[in-house]
Structure 1
Amino acid sequence: MPWSIRSRIIVFSGATSALLLTATAVWQPPAMAGVLGGTALSMLLAWLACGWITASLDRLRRGIRHIMATRDSTDPVPRPGAQDVPPRGEIVHALTVEFDALLDELETRRSVTTAIIDASPLGYFRTDAQGRTVSVNEAYRRITGLEAGSTLHWDDLLVPQERAGVRDAWQHAVSRRVPYRALQHIEHGRGREVRAIAVSSWPVMLGRTFRGFVGAIEDVTARESAESERRHLLEIFDASSDFFAQLDARGNLIYLNPAGRRRAGLGAAAPLAGHSYADFHPPETMRRLAEEILPHAGRHGMWLGETTMLGGGAPFAASEMIIAHHDDSGRIERFSAVIRDISADKANADAVARSEATLRALADAIPGLVAYIDRDEVYRFVNLSYERGFGVGRGEVIGKTLHAFLGDAEYRDIAMHVRLALQGERVVFERARMRNGVKHYVESTYLPQRDGSGSVVGFHAVLSDITERKREEERLLRASLTDHLTGLLNRAGFESTAEAAIRAARATGNTLALLFVDLDHFKAVNDTHGHAAGDLVLKVFGERLCAALRAGDEAARFGGDEFAAILEGMRAEQDALLFAAKVVEAARQPFPLPEGEARLGASVGVAVLRGDDDLASLLRRADDNLYRAKAAGRGRASAGDTLQAAAR
């Protein structure tokens, strides 16, 4: 009789009694059906798993061929050497066990492959044969800003000037069933921030049947911005009278700006291949480069000093800055050089002054606050932004020490960072400072400056105003901790505040109380006047709750008609009950509505912090006391054994 394993192995017994494994039965149901009905991620990495899976199937194929070559089951007389071969039933059983194990292994590998895809930061999508998106992953939604259930589609997010062209290109790809790759710009989120999205998709063919596309998207906004900045920087280099060069790790020239080409006698279109840094330096400078300058730049990132260069066949004095660029493994992959001919400066003091003025103009054009402080912590340079940022002229800064200019308090805040910078470390930190009575946040970067011997002679301070970024972070934090309807703390904000209050109470020995408040008969307001009226009542009660408490107390709305409050500095349980009475009285007052008014009430559970209480136990006791107040007739407060009478 035929044998079968999980409906994937079919064994036929015929005239030749041959064992036949059908590749279609083995592969198609678990793989093809999974591809067509699974996620786009599985389809994208199916080719990765294919070689892995095929290797296991090859093992089985070799085993089958060995068995069939060893003994022909149709021959009643065993062939020489086949006496020890087991009966066919045992062979099939052994093969069944082996193949079953292989299928389990394949399933495990498929699951691992799928998990790897799901962890990818790329956004994946799948479309049907008409090009309609039918499946996306979370990364896709995060990149596009499309929420689950949104009626918008990806092409609705395109910036207006690209929309028609992109739609036409996509329809062309769908109709022709060809790959689609594009760089698109979308408007992301409520702020309509423009982001650059790289899209790549591939048609899915099952035999000759076109089933749609699978594809991936990537947010390349930062990359596009960096490329734009690089182009702008090259434009500056092209317009500069200084020489800008870039070399590979071996010193071969890979870029030279127009000013450098003119000085070197190279035409604007002349190829740089075959030219190295040695073409522009005399032998003694090349020795210095090899022995001192390049090793220093490799260790410290940059070397700045004077060298002798060749230009037009004649040597000239140059101010040269060599910057070493490292790859992720720390190896030098290229050098950048900024070169200025200072031969005239050495002979002419006026040229030196002009050079300093040029450098100052460049520094003054930088929006960040830039200063140079020497090893004695004395200001030697500040740019225009630094003057404006501190509201002083540079004459009031240059020559002063950091301590004298900033004052005791501010100097204490940065003293540790200054010491690290003067020890040769690059330092980045954030701090808040007051300016015209307003708090501003500043990100400071200290870059050590070394002389030709590698000794630290001072540091450059670059200060950037990050106030807007910090305020946005604070706004988002507040939003995550605040109830959107009443403006009070939400449950998460309340728990965070309460935990801090409990720690403070234990540290100071003060008493802390927690009020748990529930509006009585609130459901009737929603049922009679509608949810808009209910929301109005909740807002008004939130205001009344805050008014009934002290300035330092915290109030929260947990949701629905449940409120809570934290009272610090209570002397006794009776003090907390007095505040609870105010809350009950506040709820007893009529609530004006657009049509008429609503009369409610409130029940309050009171819990005072005990020595072994945590927040959970404090909340639990307040909740229990709240139900005692409700059971006693509502419109009153309960602290356990103590029950306050209902308000009249």
Structure 2
Amino acid sequence: MRLKRAPAMVWQLVGLFALSGVLSLYSIMLARYTHTPACLWLTNGAMIGVLIQRPLRETWPLLIAGFLGYFAAREFVGDLPFMPSLALALCNLLETLMVTLAIRRHFPVITQETRFTDLARVALISAAGACLLSAFTVAAITHVWPNLAFWISFNTIFRAHLLGMIIAATTSIVVVTRGRRLVNSSSTPLSLVLHLLLLTAISVVAFAVSRYPLLFMIYPPLLLLIFRHRFAGLVIGIAIVALITSTVTALDIGPFNLVHDATPALKVVMAQVFIGVTCLIALPVSLALVEQDRLQLRVRDSEIRYRMLADNSGDLVMRIRPNGDRRYVSPSVKELLGWDVEEFMAPRPDLIHPDDRQRIADVVATLRRLGGATTATYRLQHRAGHYLWIEAFARLVESPEGDGSTEIIYTGRDVTQRVQIQQALTESQAQLRTITDNVPAVIARIDMSERYTYINRFVEQVSGEAPTEMIGKTVKEIRGAVLYDQLKEYLDRAYAGESVWFEYEATYRNRLLHFQTHYVPDKDSKGHVRGVYALTTEITHIKNVERELLRLAHQDALTGLANRRYFNEQSASLLRQTCQRRAPTLLAVLDVDNFKAINDTYGHAAGDLVLAEVGRCLQGFMHEGAVVARIGGDEFVVLCDHVGTEVAAETFVRTLWEKLHVAVRTGGHCIDVHISMGAVFFKGSATQDALMKLADEALYLAKEAGRNTYRFVTGGLFMGEKNGNM
């Protein structure tokens, strides 16, 4: 790759060497021939245009080539010794490098879009600084400090270098950056040549006439050249004026001789002032024109891009005047609404759906009154007759016509499908809300901060609170601290991703209610929990039914006492407890004497009354913790553990037996109820079957003794008998 690029680089080095040498030789020889200071030093400025467009690694060879070109020219003239000549070459190199680096720092790449006003400002400031430093160094080299000649030399060198930098650098930068675009698109090379010849001729005439100051005649053709050819006219015109001025001044001819007793140095100063004023007049005008061209080009490009986008956009784009006339309608109106552009240019409010016309008219009126931008969705009629939903964005802007009026920039797109989806979604949400509001359960959603974000209307029937009053509040605020403590555990489990079922009780409207709740985690598409759905059902009636069923399963319907099943369940538990406590147990079994005869004589209704009365007596006599049950027919059983001694147990049995002697009236008859009872008092471990067997044996003994009595045994031994008449 480097071998392929080497020839091009070699030619660039040779070209820069020749350019630097020729320009340096011209300035040195002209000053030497006329015995005057150099009016313009063009070498350093000419090199800058070449250097700023090269990568930094390629800059150093070019700088060395320019340095060698100047040094060769100085050595060819031979007016200075070797070391001063070398030092002056280094000063020129430093001056060129400083301006180049300053420009590249602010403008790494110079393109057609670069603001040349900013570029000129940076270049002028850096050139002034570089020329100051260079002139100071050169004057110090060629004169002894602080001799007066030093300041004269400094002044002369500075002016020559600064003017040369401005003219040559501007010319080289423009030529290098614009290249073939140097000639303005509105002009031709032939017109450029003719205008240059006109400027040259007038300049020659103005300087050739020594009797009259006609230098002002140069400005009209120069400005004409700039207006018609922009940068090309500037750089070539200034160069022509500068060369003619410096040449005739060096040759001691021209209108500068009108100044009385003018020295050659003064004439050089006047020439430099004239060139500087010419630059000050021409350069700002040229920069302004170029900036104007650049902005116009950007506006034109912007308009082209905008029209291209508008013409090819699927959206409808319009420019609407205050009276409603449309200045522009994009071709998409054909595809969107079926209308041709010409048909849609006139105002067509009749195409707006009748239900939307007044609303849209109000929106437009507000936009024209307040300005800014607005968005509206409405229906617009297709040429085929059906309506489309259009989402329109409109902004009020100043008219580009520059007449102080305003226009509406309108952009509309077909959102029919989206509106239909939204309507379907709204309808679906309404149906879902109707369903949830009428489901006999409280349905709610709780976010991660434990706040309600949704709750259906059924909650009013349960708690009396309106859903709108609950939205945004926390579970603790709605349910209270006590109930919240019960629910917190289940909430945390649901937030952890677990589906939770549980039951709890709560009081609402002075009623204790039972609830069953299901917490379901609400997860996003990635499986992250973002809330909890709560489905709460009141199950109070179910609990009441369960209790009733439990009661019926464990209670004798006639007497209200426990039945055999409940007795078996409770007796097993009580016997385990007494065994653990090493407490004695009393079991008594009793039945109604001659119960069959009562049924046969007085009827079953009378028998039921007798059984109910016996049950009532047993209920009123029992202590807490005792189990009293009807285990079948007229047979009852009593199991308790509150008697601690045999004496107390026997006293309890006797008292119970006596209390059960009641009289039952039915149908005008009085039935005297007699009871036979067998009781066992047992210490230690015993099963229910063992105790029942002992109690049944004691009951059998009471019946053998003639009924209407009781028998009391302990440890399976007969202790004595008691007659009901005692």
Q: Give the alignment's TM-score, normalised by structure 1.
A: 0.42
More strand by share: 1
> Which structure would you say has the larger RCO, counting Cα contacts within 8 Å and 6 or more residues apart?
2
Structure with higher helix content: 2
- TM-score, normalisation: structure 2: 0.38
Q: Say which one has the larger Rg.
A: 2
